[in-house]
Structure 1
């Protein structure tokens, strides 16, 4: 019987048709590589494609590769499948050797639900010599049921030994117009709202997910309201507002925790104590990554708003992306200068770098908001 073409996440990668078609041919012919290296600029959809490939490989329907409707496909789409492991650097200098050891220990274990396991290694250019060497042999000869997907910006900044052991898949950079158009096609929503979602979420697929999440959209609105209030806020107001904001950002994690606990309960009877401990550690890492992603999304919301303020101050209102917050942009631009808007944007960029280095999120956002207040009010 001929395998059906994927209908899930992989089929939705219409902004990267060459990548989509290449991966479709690989999975439908059962010739998927044991290790891929997706390379491209931020926002090109590499992480979206990695999750899409994982869904295609873990689909539970016979003869299909990524139906999008079976339990396995749904879990992968929600990022809750126990056999898809996502890793990101946990240190300011890159991956920790302990992270790679945890990964290699897990590789040796059998899958929990599926017949296959997928490991997504984000920002793989931050695999330095000591961590990469531990991974090389497994990349070269992984177990038959394991696929690695490494994500990087360019092969030029990767260790050659890593590049040589992976099948490289290049991603082209998307224009803002292309990305927004893809979200319009996927959601049927108006173009301004889709353009905003892309600016906040970073890619078309994540923008679609963002527009489906009332909680993530509320976190954006909370950040916009907070920045709007800064010129009139004192220190106590800001500290209380940040506490509330952090609660809003963490709200979507409740469902993730519930799903993780259900999986632990289902597997408690037949997994060894060591395997259960590894699953618990993986769940903690996933929650941490989800929280960091939510924080970065909130910071992106602040960045896009302040960019709009800069555009208005410079006399280019047609370049704004937050059409639903035009009143906030107008209020802030009345008293802000070009240098003030630039300084405010610098404060957000500094906060994003601090979060990437695992500095305490609440403290980072507090410092950022104090700096933005100073910049906007020209104090």
Structure 2
């Protein structure tokens, strides 16, 4: 079985930490892996799960064990049919709900079905609703020797301190542009030639993804870039009072709420950076944001960031992307300098 750190070198430090703990038989019962969206956190968690379930790990004596890829457990994992590993992720509401955590708790207390161990992965532990977080806390407070919990958290999204204090936290960095680009190129080469993204599309995908390779791959091979370009054009038109707010907001409808919030969050963060002399991550929006940065105080940019955070914290994931976009667009337009009438 391939070492996950060979496939994604930026995961190496977090992966080797787990390898050494497994080799020494002192892996904690619960881990939190923190990293940006699209850096491979779930792949890392699944690799850890595979290592813990494997009957005959290779390289244990050298302190760098990996799953063998040949035993019954590895075969079940490869077929995505292993009963002793479960993944719990946000549902359509974009929240991890209490019923999912209760199912995790029931899974945790039951005996392993075919392996000697069990693994439960919570993807986006930062999106546990309050009831789910409290239910998870009870499971963390009563650790079981044959169960490992792996929580995945996006950078900048909080997890309850009471949950964090009961887990060992590991962090995954974002790779540099060269490393991310090389990984991306190796993946798109496997696509049919007529579907391979151009170099310009790959560069834009990496720019928008902040060098997060898996996210960039999704962007480069999906429709996000086109939707985002249209939304940015309408955003600029609205800021210049060329179109009404309703028309501008409609451009965000097809993106969905989470991507809409993410886009406004990215622009607000870029504005904050430009105000203090930094540079914008979204190069296509840099001209407009640079213009606003000349007259906007820093607290206004952070106010825009807070508006996005409030939308997420309020659990508005059933809300309309158009309505949220309208609310945010109106707040943004207030930053435009007021033209004074000629004397």
**Local SS of the residue matching 2:248:** helix
CA–CA distance in structure 1, aligned partners of residues 218 and 297 of structure 2:
30
CA–CA distance in structure 2, aligned partners of residues 47 and 338 of structure 1:
35
Distance 1:239 1:33, change over 3 A: farther
Deviates more, 1:58-67 or 1:340-349: 58-67
Match status 1:182 vs 2:179: yes
Aligned 8 A contact 1:14 1:20 in 2: no
2:139 equivalent in structure 1: 135
Aligned 8 A contact 2:15 2:44 in 1: no
CA–CA distance in structure 2, aligned partners of residues 111 and 366 of structure 1:
50
1:268 equivalent in structure 2: none
For structure 1, list consecutive stretches of 5 or more residues without a partner in the other structure.
77-81, 251-290
CA–CA distance in structure 1, aligned partners of residues 79 and 336 of structure 2:
44
Aligned residues: 298
1:219 corresponds, among 222, 227, 232, to 227
2:315 corresponds, among 358, 368, 378, to 358
1:196 corresponds, among 207, 210, 230, to 207
Match status 1:319 vs 2:319: no
Distance 1:163 1:84, change over 3 A: same
Aligned 8 A contact 1:84 1:119 in 2: yes
**Local SS of the residue matching 1:140:** coil
CA–CA distance in structure 2, aligned partners of residues 304 and 74 of structure 1:
42
CA drift at 1:224: 1.8
CA drift at 1:65: 3.8
**Local SS of the residue matching 1:141:** coil
1:230 corresponds, among 228, 238, 261, to 238
Match status 1:347 vs 2:312: no
Aligned 8 A contact 2:209 2:215 in 1: yes
1:52 corresponds, among 44, 64, 69, to 44
Distance 1:216 1:30, change over 3 A: farther
CA–CA distance in structure 2, aligned partners of residues 208 and 75 of structure 1:
25
CA drift at 1:244: 3.7
CA drift at 1:339: 1.2
TM-score (norm 1): 0.57
2:29 equivalent in structure 1: 35
